[in-house]
Structure formats: structure tokens, C-alpha cells
Amino acid sequence: MINTFDWFSKWSVYNGEKTAIKIGESGETYTYRKLNEAANWLVTELKSKFKLGYGDRVAIISDNSIYQILLFAAAQKSGIILVPLNFRLAPQELDYMLQDSGSKLCFYNKQNINPDHLAFENPMISITELEKSFEHKAEGTVAELKEDDPVFILYTSGTTGFPKGAVYTHKMLFWNSINTALSLNLASNTTTLNCMPLFHTGGWNVFLTPVLHHGGTLLLFNKFEPAVILDCIEEERLDLFMGVPTMLKMIADEPDFVSRDLSSLKYLIVGGESMPIPLIDMYHRKGIPVRQGYGLTEAGPNLTSLHQDEAKRKEGSIGKPNFYVDIRIVDDHGNDVQKGERGELIIGGPMVSPAYWNNEKATKESRFGTWLRTGDVALQDDEDFIYIVDRKKNMYISGGENVYPVEVERVLLSHPSVKEAVVIGVPHEKWGECGVAFIVGDKDFSEQEIKDFCSDKLAKFKIPSVVVNTPEIPKNDTGKLNRKVLKASYLEKNEYEMN
């Protein structure tokens, strides 16, 4: 039997001494053969010591390291399902996802999380214990995997206030890789880096998994530091680099940015939000083409691409669908709207998640038949370029992290003195956006009181930066909280602070 999903085994045969991963901070390298042999041994260990195999969930709470890549290789061989969790989350949030996923084992980094703070009752093992895997060699064991078998459960914040686990399958991995390669000319000679966290689909699937599928080389960084990343692009002669506009602005603000030789870059890939024209101009002046795109945890994530030649003419557009991506823009009943009209963007194709884990209701609500509802309001112009006109519900992005206000509001409303609470995202010079909490309570709250109350219940990036005490919160005709009025009023009053 041949496991066609086991990329490391294949590349170990074809080009085993090729560097697959280079650690950005240390310079240590791992070839495809070394990773393959270590993963073979790890699969045997997980089976013999923990009875883990096909379909079992294994959680990861850690910052970026070679050990996540090793676990990914083991998942492709054995059929275990990886559950990478955001180590920045509060213990209460992590416990929910560990329980919801039914994880039987958790690898953690003690520098990121104290296991004593979690209610998780199954084994927790320091992720550094996986270093032993590289001391051994083992023959591969073949698991019979199907293309719709999950390889990841990727948790995304939910509009209900509770996270949802998007099932990410081996089929999605393959077709996302093909879409990426066709769009960006990615191949076995590609060298790029990843400094995005490996608990997001962006960290795993924008470049990392497509590069490994195609036998390229990826430099893995633990975190984003603009000066270090700038050095890496120049010294390693990278082909591609992906970042959100905040990151790209920080790189461009480096004192010696203008004098650096970045001519090796074929493209600069932008995600998360639109890139401002002045920033596009800064990179274009250095001869670096800018390509913007769109994706989400539940599909792709490499779904659309705006060609670099259109970066300025089609400012704000997410471009056109990638090769194996189908899109429609529909009304509330699922009927296609006319070009130029607004509707909900829906996605079809082999890179769409089949379901949310253990959540039939959310899965059903996210579909128009076989089409995935993004919840994003979009329009398509006469030249077929797509524009996102409004974000998914009321979500905002702070420092590259998605924040759903309902999650924050649920915590605020658990305070005995808070009667009503609404959170909105507003522009922030450093983080892109930050949260403003409007509170109706039995008393006035200071920002520090709210931050202290939220500190053990929410990740730091979700905690509101501004607190506004108000006697009432505006509502619409049906009695629902009117966020649009609230946000417009706040921005008008505080315009001088937002510039």
C-alpha cells in the first residue's frame, strides 16, 4: 500500500539531502530525510506508549519550532489529527478547545503555558521531549488514509462567543498547495520564510505546507522581528515573503530599508487586510511586486490573488479566484446578485472544509448547499475583480489576530456590576485595530479594572484598550444593539486620536 499523503517519505527518496526546514534564529537545518526518519520513529512511539493512531487528536500549545513540523510529518503518516492551539489564550479558553476536540495528548512549551493552570486530564508532555525523535531512525509504517480525513482541527473565534474547530483535511492541503503554486509559481527551488504563528491557518498553509509539498526550503522563525526578517530576506535571497500590512510597514520603517538588496523577491504577499497605497509605493520603488489576497480558516487559505500589475489600479480589491477556487456573490436567499451589487461571498472547491468539528449546527449554518458562506459582504466589478465591502459580522483584526466582539462581551457581562456591554474595533496606529468597550454598569469602570477582570479569561490581544462608561447603548428598531451608530459616533468624537 502507498500513502500518497506522506510528502516527507516521497521527498526523502527523491531529494533526501535537500534542506526542508532551516531554523531562522539558530541556523540549524533539517533535511527531508532527517525529518522523515524522525517522524517514522515518532509514529511508532505514539502508538506504543499512548495507543495513538488514526483519528486520534493531539493538541499543541507552543510557539514556533521544528517540533510542530515533526508532528505534521507524523500526522501525514499515521492519520493522527493535530490540534494547534493559540498559546496566547487564557487557560479557560484553552480548556474549552481541549475538551471540545477530545484531544488525548497535549504537547506544550513550558515557556508558553503552565500545565498546572489547565483542567486537561490527559497526558501533557513538554514539546522539547520530541528532540529524542531525531536521535533515531525507523522504517515507515503505512496508514490507510482517505483524502477527506482530517489532518488539523483549526480553531477560529465564533460569533456565538465560543470557538469553532474547522476540520482541515488532507485533500484541502493538496488543493491549497496546487492553487498556491499556480498563482505564485512556487516550486522545488522556492526558498521562503514563515514567522506567522503555527496555530493559525496562515502560519501552516499560506507557504509552509505548499513549500513542503513541492520540496522547497522554508526558514522557520519563532516570532516576527522586522530587523531580523529584513536581514533574512536579503542574506538568504528569498523568493517570496508574506506578511500583514502592519508587519510590512514595520520592515519598511527600518532605517536601512531603502539601501537593502531585496531584488531576489519575486512577490510580496499581503493578507489580513488591504495594504495602503503609500506602503505599496515604498515596495514598488524597490522593484518588489505586491500581491494581495484573501482567505479564511475554513477554506484555502489561498483563495484569491490580485495580480501585482493591478495593485494600485484596483486598490482595495482581493483580486480574482485562484485556479481551483469557485466564487459566487449571493443575496440572503442564495441567489446570485448582479455585478456591482453587494452580497455575501460564498466559496466552492476542493479546498473548502467539510465541517466544523463536533458542531453540526454551525456547519449547517455556514452552508448554502455545498457552498461555504464566508459572512463577508462583497461585490464584483465589471472586470471581475472582487472587493470586500464589510468584514465578517463585527470582527476586527488586532495585530494580525481576529477578534470577535461577542467573545469579549460574554466575559464583560459575567461581571456582576455590568448590565450591558458592546465592543467595537477602531483604527490603531500600531496594531491596525484595537477594541473599545462601551459599558453600562452599576458604577463607572476604569480601563485598568476591565483589563484586570479580563486578564485570566481572555487573551491579551482581545482585552479592550479603551473603556467608555455610558448611561445607555443605542439600539435599532428591533431592540438590537446598534454597533454601527456606536462606532460612527465614537470615531467622529475621537477623530483626532485615530489619525
Q: What is the mean pLDDT of residues 334-345?
A: 94
- Quote the DSSP letter at residue 117: G
Q: How far apart are CA 242 and CA 413, in angstroms?
A: 38
With CA atoms as reference, report the closest residue to 268 among 246, 250, 285, 284: 284
Q: 498 or 5: whose pLDDT is higher? A: 5
Q: How far apart are CA 145 and CA 490, in angstroms?
A: 53
The pLDDT of residue 368 is 94
Q: Which residue has the cell 451589487?
A: 341
With CA atoms as reference, report the closest residue to 403 among 447, 436, 359: 436
Average pLDDT for the chain: 92
Copy the grid coordinates of residue 171: 485533500
Domains and CATH numbers, the chain: 7-386 (3.40.50.12780), 396-496 (3.30.300.30)
- Judged by DSSP in three states, 343 sits in strand
Q: How far apart are CA 105 and CA 103, in angstroms?
A: 6
pLDDT, tens digit, 9 for 90 and up, residues 276-294? 888 899 999 999 999 999 9
The pLDDT of residue 329 is 97
Q: How far apart are CA 217 and CA 31, in angstroms?
A: 9
Strand order across the 432-441 sheet: 418-428, 432-441, 466-469
With CA atoms as reference, report the closest residue to 156 among 344, 375, 465, 321: 375
Q: How far apart are CA 126 and CA 109, in angstroms?
A: 6
Q: What is the mean pLDDT of residues 59-82?
A: 98
Q: Where would I find the H helices in 198-287?
A: 201-205, 208-213, 226-235, 245-252, 277-285
Q: Which class for 36: exposed (0-12), middle (13-18), buried (19 or more C-beta within 10 A)?
A: buried
Q: How far apart are CA 300 and CA 325, in angstroms?
A: 9
With CA atoms as reference, report the closest residue to 44 among 176, 111, 138: 138
Structural contact between residues 54 and 79, judged by C-beta atoms closer than 8 angstroms:
yes
Q: Which residue has the cell 501533557?
A: 124
Copy the grid coordinates of residue 201: 491557518
Confidence check: pLDDT of 390 > 80: no
The pLDDT of residue 46 is 97
Q: How far apart are CA 93 and CA 88, in angstroms?
A: 10
Q: What is the mean pLDDT of residues 75-92?
A: 96
DSSP per position, 269-293? EE-SSPPPHHHHHHHHHTT--EEEE
- Judged by DSSP in three states, 167 sits in strand
| 220 contacts: CB under 8 Å, gap ≥ 6 | 21, 22, 23, 24, 64, 65, 66, 69, 193, 194, 208
Structural contact between residues 433 and 441, judged by C-beta atoms closer than 8 angstroms:
no
pLDDT, tens digit, 9 for 90 and up, residues 189-241? 999 999 999 999 999 999 999 999 999 999 999 999 999 999 999 999 999 99
With CA atoms as reference, report the closest residue to 274 among 251, 248, 299: 248
pLDDT, tens digit, 9 for 90 and up, residues 97-136? 999 999 999 999 999 999 999 999 999 999 999 999 999 8
Q: Of 23-27, 91-95, 315-319, which gets the smallest average pLDDT?
A: 315-319
pLDDT, tens digit, 9 for 90 and up, residues 162-184? 899 999 999 999 999 999 999 99
Q: How far apart are CA 425 and CA 327, in angstroms?
A: 28
Q: 366 or 494: whose pLDDT is higher? A: 366
The pLDDT of residue 149 is 97
pLDDT, tens digit, 9 for 90 and up, residues 131-165? 999 998 888 777 889 999 999 999 987 656 689 99
Q: What is the mean pLDDT of residues 337-355?
A: 96
Q: What phi and psi, each to the nearest 5 degrees, are found at residue 309?
A: -70, -15
Chain-centroid distance, C-alpha 32: 25
Structural contact between residues 278 and 249, judged by C-beta atoms closer than 8 angstroms:
no
The pLDDT of residue 496 is 38
The angle formed by the CA atoms of residues 183, 184 and 186, to the nearest 5 degrees, is 120
**Exposure string (b/e) for 104-124, b if CB count within 10 Å is 16 or more?**
bbbbbbeeebeeeebebeeeb
Give the type of residue at 373: R
Confidence check: pLDDT of 480 > 80: no
The pLDDT of residue 498 is 39
The pLDDT of residue 158 is 62
With CA atoms as reference, report the closest residue to 243 among 204, 273, 285: 273
| 186 contacts: CB under 8 Å, gap ≥ 6 | 180, 207, 210, 211, 214, 216, 240
Q: How far apart are CA 175 and CA 328, in angstroms?
A: 19
Give the type of residue at 167: V
Q: Which residue has the cell 522556492?
A: 190
- Judged by DSSP in three states, 13 sits in helix
Copy the grid coordinates of residue 270: 499581503
Q: Which residue has the cell 490581544?
A: 461
Structural contact between residues 181 and 123, judged by C-beta atoms closer than 8 angstroms:
no
Q: What is the mean pLDDT of residues 52-81?
A: 97
Q: Which residue has the cell 470586500?
A: 388
